[in-house]
Structure 1
């Protein structure tokens, strides 16, 4: 679908966004309950010292989160901005875009921070944010639900915050 949305329209949660939310939340629940957080993090993180031997980390890292706040921030962002992109692009294209952005984030981590492991959906989420800002740069959105601003500025601030946290010592990406 390539139809454009009116600024006032907002699609309901879409199939791919539902599945991505469920997958991320499900993995977080499993890491806290069944397997223990350390075992899951060790097995599924993208660890440059184990790459390319543990190649699956390039995919699995984007579904594991170290803290509840990291999971909530990423999933709230996906819930806010993902459905509209999925509606315009279609489910298959949206999922492909999401995964490619996550893979790109993993490769960027391998290149620019090879001394540390990374987990989290931030690479994929950043791609969703950039796409949203490029398609609807002048749309009014609300910071913390109350401060109106153009989507391009909110998204630039969110990506900047994400980069700062990703580069901070002890961060989970």
Structure 2
């Protein structure tokens, strides 16, 4: 099950999302091609990835930030950038550019600390933007629980694009992180499930003031959980470009 896009077009240019994507992609192109040996590449990871044992000892605090811009491979990078592209523009639109950037960084640092707490003695480097992006997803769930998200379902030879409410897709994703976290030893490497879950919950909590400012439960009742602007309905077989319909004065205005 892969998310492809949402039906929730942004009303402004997501400059911060573009900047973050460029930093992650250009950074990957640099460090994945700049080291002649695997040993030198691993030394790079050791220097800039977050290592729980070092963080617990008060060492290398800047890796809480630098680790958010390092990825372990092309698919790791591509998956994270896809999720940021789908959910980040709407959160930046709601929060504003600089507040969204601060939100993203705080979610990423908090997610890393959640992983450190789950495996305080681990020497395995932690890399990736997924903790910060999980925070974006948590905020999105609070603001737009019924926004439609197109997901690609693959069952052996069966391929189908199906629109589902955001709370279904994001709820399943969060549940998978808890299930994976309970069944895995975070000190052995692999997927940082508790970083994902922690980032998601931190993002949801940090978005609460914005949600309350929009009216809290009244905001949900007014929009029925959908975005506070017209959604574009798409065919399940095609995914054309979506443009925001100009907002009309009324109860959904802000």
TM-score range, shorter chain: 0.7 to 0.9
Unaligned residue ranges in structure 2 (runs of 5+) = 1-5, 153-159, 193-254
Cα deviations by residue, 1:48-94 (Å, 9 ceiling, x for unpaired): 22222211111111111102111111110001110111111100111
* Aligned residue pairs, count: 167
Distance 2:42 2:50 in 1: 14
For residue 117 of structure 1, give the secondary structure of its aligned residue in structure 2: coil
Instruction: Report whether the alignment pairs 1:148 with 2:163.
Output: yes
Unaligned residue ranges in structure 1 (runs of 5+) = 1-6
C-alpha deviation, 1:9, in angstroms = 4.8
Would the alpha carbon gap of residues 138 and 106 (structure 1) be closer, same or farther in structure 2, given more than 3 Å must change? same
Higher CA-based Rg: 2
Instruction: Report whether the alignment pairs 1:62 with 2:62.
Output: no
Distance 1:97 1:80 in 2: 17
Cα deviations by residue, 1:11-54 (Å, 9 ceiling, x for unpaired): 26511001100111122111111145323311111012222221
- 1:72 corresponding residue in structure 2: 78
Would the alpha carbon gap of residues 160 and 64 (structure 1) be closer, same or farther in structure 2, given more than 3 Å must change? farther
TM-score scaled by length of structure 2: 0.60
TM-score scaled by length of structure 1: 0.86
Contact 2:45–2:125 under 8 Å retained in 1: no
C-alpha RMSD of matched pairs (Å): 2.3
- 1:4 corresponding residue in structure 2: none
Would the alpha carbon gap of residues 68 and 158 (structure 1) be closer, same or farther in structure 2, given more than 3 Å must change? farther
